A and B are shown apart, each in its own frame.
Chain A
Amino acid sequence: MIAVLGLVVGVVLGLVFEPSIPDAWQTYLPIAVVAALDAVFGALRAYLDGIFDDKVFAVSFVSNVLIAALIVYLGDQLGVGGQLSTGVIVVLGIRIFSNAAAIRRHVFHA
């Protein structure tokens, strides 16, 4: 319950404050968001599997975000930032899809 509430609160905060973030972060934020989404879906799947652990979730959430940002940063330094960020998005997207499939199997038994 608190998880859903937290999501709603975050959205509302973002809408209310309309914060502006530094230019340097602007290329990393979308990657970080997708990485966090991946962690959330993974956590939901783990919860439905009965193996959810909040510590694991927190660590995977933070590390996912950090690693995604790091990869993109490295790509920018190497001059292949665009391609690498596309690669990260693709990989995370595949993971999100497979997690979503597992969740679907749990919820709908199909």
Chain B
Amino acid sequence: MPDVPGSSGRRLWSALSGRPGRGQLVAGLLLALLGYAATVQIQLTRDSDDFAGQRRDNLIELLDSLSGASDRAEQQISELQKTKNQLESSATGDAAALLDAQRRLRDLQILAGTVAAKGPGIIVTVDDNQGSVTAASLLNGIEELRDAGAEAIEVNGTVRLVQSSWISGSAGAIVIDGQAVRAPYVIKAIGSAHTLSEAVAFPGGFADEVAALGGTASVTENDTVEITALHALVQPQYSQPTDQ
């Protein structure tokens, strides 16, 4: 290329405006190569959201940090899973305890006579036209029913017989738990219907006793006997539960 004398500014100007020589051609070719490579590289860098252009060291470092993060995340998952299991098991434990308590409450309520009850059982109807059935014989019949496993007993639909019930009065004017009870005496009992009816009807039993006194006792076995009379619960005044 022609060497232009003078200042560098003029030389630059002459290079941009002057006639191209061989040197310019070579320089142009190499610069084209440079521009091409630079553009390719820039596009490559911009595109490499995947890790294709990364060095191995960087990739290993990245992988390490990622696997560390995933380890920590997995540890967290297992810890949370454990907590969840604990909470779930304690919840089911609570639910089971609640269910158990509810069942006990129901059992005790039936035994204490504070709720109505229904189930298979018998209805004993004692007719006493002569007014000769005594409180003692009635008590005998009720004891027989209890022996046979009666779970709930009611007389005349008004008196629930519980553990503290008492029977007194003379024949024809019987009092149970302070309530006057008049013939015909209808005794409802829940339990095994067959066993209960046997307990009433066996020879020399309650039915025969009533018959000997001049009354009649008839037994019907029912699939469903409903006992609706309730016993008012009295708080124990003197006794307290022991630890055992």
Contacts and interface: CB of A to CB of B under 8 A. Distances in A.
B41 A29 contact: yes
Interface in A31-54: 32-33, 36-37, 39-40, 43, 47-50, 52-54
Interface in B1-36: 1, 3, 8-9, 11-12, 15-18, 20, 22-36
A77 B8 CA distance: 45
A1 B8 CA distance: 16
B44 interface: yes
A18 B27 contact: no
B57 interface: yes
Given A36-B30, A58-B30, A2 B20 contact: yes
Main secondary structure on chain B at its contact with chain A? helix
Contacts of A8: 35
B36 A54 contact: no
B37 interface: yes
A14 B35 contact: yes
Nearest to A83: B57
Interface of B: 1, 3, 8-9, 11-12, 15-18, 20, 22-41, 43-45, 52-53, 55-58
